Amino acid sequence: MDIQLKNKLLKNDRDYVWHPFTQMKDYEKQDHVLIEKAEGIYLYDADGSKYYDTVSSWWVNIHGHSHPRIRAAIDKQMSEMDHVMFSGFTHRPAIELSEKLVEITPEGLNKVFFSDNGSTAVEVALKMSFQYWLHLGKKEKNKFVFLDNSYHGDTIGAVSVGGVELFHSVFKPLLFDSYKVSSPNPFAWQQKGVSEDEAVSKCLDEVRSLFEEKAEEIAGFVIEPLVQAAGGMIVYPSSYLIGIRELCDEFDIHLIADEVAVGFGRTGKLFACEHAGISPDLMCLSKGLTAGVMPLSVTLSTLKIFDAFYDEYETFKTFFHGHSFTGNPLACAVALENLKIFEDNKVIEMIQPTSKYLQQRFPEFSDLKHIGNVRGIGMIAAMDIFEDKAKGLNYATNKRTGYQVYLTGLKHGLIMRPLGDTIYVWLPLCTTIDDIDQILYKINNVLIDLELA
């Protein structure tokens, strides 16, 4: 790109744009990366420099950027119908996608409700769960349970069930009351001398006690299956999820699985719930639903929940929720094509050797002086930076070590986005073993540059 155009764009970015999760005063001090092209697992900036997209562009991309089949699906749908309202009308892409989603998601999820981002899919699940109990005459069942360090989005309902202090505490006066329970975070428990199995039973005991006391007022338990992503890439055992399913059944509480981040193969199975062999009552999907290309989300529900809303014309039993872009045909067509690519290319089979390789190689970082708590699953791998590894001490926050990793990563051709001092990769499913070698080599060089090796 012409240097003058680039400078003008960067100036206008500073003048007009307010970026998410960004302290803008701080942002203004940097010359930011102007991304101009995305192809496969790479992003290219305005100067033509190439970067590995190791975070799948905020955990969304699945088959690589600019996939020819996805492009063709958009073109085809665009030539037929761009958008139409979804209340009182319906259309083929949404119908076919719903049928397919019911087929591939865990048993018992039979109805598909559309929206357009992950937070809203969670918001919808919370509202559905609450209204379900209302229809059954249990209006006091209006609270939700969530895990410490959980993240379910940024809308007010989703923040009310969020457990990341940094993002959520400022909004406390706006939130509804919910119950927070301990996370089965293996590392945090290990620091207290508690083994993984013991941690799971302690955490389940805590939930049981809460349910015994409060089940009458609890509508649902909302959880990120297996990986608490934004809360620090915490990977916890599937036995916890199995235990939560059992407790929800025993105490008549909805299990709401937020697979917005982990859905569509990222953990090595199509859906993370499959690792535990469980079916939730409500399931939220977004990000990878359209292969990471278009904004779309769904909340799937059981027939039991749906049936409580199903009646002759009675307004109070209607689910009053919907958005202008609900069920957007372009996004639905892309999602359908995404699912066809999964099938045609046997993507879940294809990623088994690559994810195994990633999980074998990533722990090599734990040999480094300042690196520990290496963990991962499927195409996700994470590690923490410590000032004193033996004592489990992190660097002072004002050192902004994770941010230095981000900046140094750019110099090495990596797009990374550490969460505090947690460095992670969240790889597109099309990543090859050779790509993994390259990425790990570059990350190692970043750590050497920052004297963290």
Provide the minimum distance between the beta carbon of 438 and ligand PMP in the complex, in angstroms, as a whole number. Answer: 26
Provide the minimum distance between the beta carbon of 53 and ligand PMP in the complex, in angstroms, as a whole number. Answer: 16
Provide the minimum distance between the beta carbon of 286 and ligand PMP in the complex, in angstroms, as a whole number. Answer: 5
Q: What CA–CA distance (Å, rounded) separates 150 from 147? A: 5
Residues making up the annotated binding site for substrate are 58, 151, 287, 322, 417
**Binder of ligand PMP out of 153, 220, 263, 327 (CB under 6 A):** 153
CB atoms within 10 A of CB 11: 10
Kindly tell me which of 117 and 299 has the beta carbon lying closer to ligand PMP.
117
Kindly tell me which of 7 and 155 has the beta carbon lying closer to ligand PMP.
155
Among 216, 279, 283, 207, smallest CA distance to 240 is for 207
**Binder of ligand PMP out of 70, 164, 230, 233 (CB under 6 A):** 230
SS3 state at 145:
strand
> Strands 143-147 and 179-181: what pairing?
parallel
Q: Are 439 and 409 in contact (CB under 8 A)?
A: no
Kindly tell me which of 334 and 446 has the beta carbon lying closer to ligand PMP.
334
Stretch that binds ligand PMP, among 10-18, 25-33, 148-156, 236-244 (CB under 6 A): 148-156
| Rg for the chain, CA atoms, rounded | 22
**Binder of ligand PMP out of 53, 148, 224, 337 (CB under 6 A):** 224
**Binder of ligand PMP out of 124, 207, 219, 261 (CB under 6 A):** 261
CB atoms within 10 A of CB 12: 10
Footprint of ligand PMP on residues 353-372 (CB under 6 A)? none
Binding-site size, ligand PMP (CB under 6 A): 14
**Binder of ligand PMP out of 51, 130, 132, 151 (CB under 6 A):** 151
Kindly tell me which of 94 and 261 has the beta carbon lying closer to ligand PMP.
261
Q: What CA–CA distance (Å, rounded) separates 72 from 82? A: 14
Q: At what angle do helices 433-449 and 347-361 cross, to 10 degrees?
A: 30
Stretch that binds ligand PMP, among 1-9, 211-219, 224-232, 422-430 (CB under 6 A): 224-232
Footprint of ligand PMP on residues 270-309 (CB under 6 A)? 286
Residues making up the annotated binding site are 58, 118-119, 151, 258, 287, 322-324, 417
Provide the minimum distance between the beta carbon of 398 and ligand PMP in the complex, in angstroms, as a whole number. Answer: 26
Q: Are 214 and 179 in contact (CB under 8 A)?
A: yes
Kindly tell me which of 153 and 329 has the beta carbon lying closer to ligand PMP.
153
Provide the minimum distance between the beta carbon of 250 and ligand PMP in the complex, in angstroms, as a whole number. Answer: 25
Footprint of ligand PMP on residues 171-200 (CB under 6 A)? none
CB atoms within 10 A of CB 379: 24
SS3 state at 155:
coil
Footprint of ligand PMP on residues 67-126 (CB under 6 A)? 117-119, 122
Provide the minimum distance between the beta carbon of 229 and ligand PMP in the complex, in angstroms, as a whole number. Answer: 5
CB atoms within 10 A of CB 139: 12
Residues making up the annotated binding site for pyridoxal 5'-phosphate are 118-119, 258, 323-324
CA count, 13 A, side-chain hemisphere, 226? 25
Q: What CA–CA distance (Å, rounded) separates 316 from 134? A: 10
Residue nearest to ligand PMP (CB): 118
Q: Are 128 and 282 in contact (CB under 8 A)?
A: yes
Any idea of the CA torsion for 91, 153, 215, 253, to the nearest 10 degrees? 30
258 scored as a contact of ligand PMP (CB under 6 A): yes
Determine which helix (DSSP H) or strand (DSSP E) holds 42, and give its type and residue range.
strand 42-45
Q: Are 197 and 244 in contact (CB under 8 A)?
A: no
Q: Which two tokens stand for residue 224?
A: 């990120």
**28, 69, 392, 399 from 336: Cα distances, Å:** 40, 11, 45, 45
Q: Which two tokens stand for residue 180?
A: 């927070």
**Binder of ligand PMP out of 91, 152, 266, 375 (CB under 6 A):** 152
Q: Which residues pair with 371 in a beta bridge?
A: 385
Provide the minimum distance between the beta carbon of 205 and ligand PMP in the complex, in angstroms, as a whole number. Answer: 25
Provide the minimum distance between the beta carbon of 119 and ligand PMP in the complex, in angstroms, as a whole number. Answer: 3
Kindly tell me which of 116 and 435 has the beta carbon lying closer to ligand PMP.
116
Kindly tell me which of 118 and 378 has the beta carbon lying closer to ligand PMP.
118
Provide the minimum distance between the beta carbon of 19 and ligand PMP in the complex, in angstroms, as a whole number. Answer: 14
Task: Give the residues lining the site for ligand PMP (CB under 6 A).
Answer: 117-119, 122, 151-153, 224, 229-230, 258, 260-261, 286
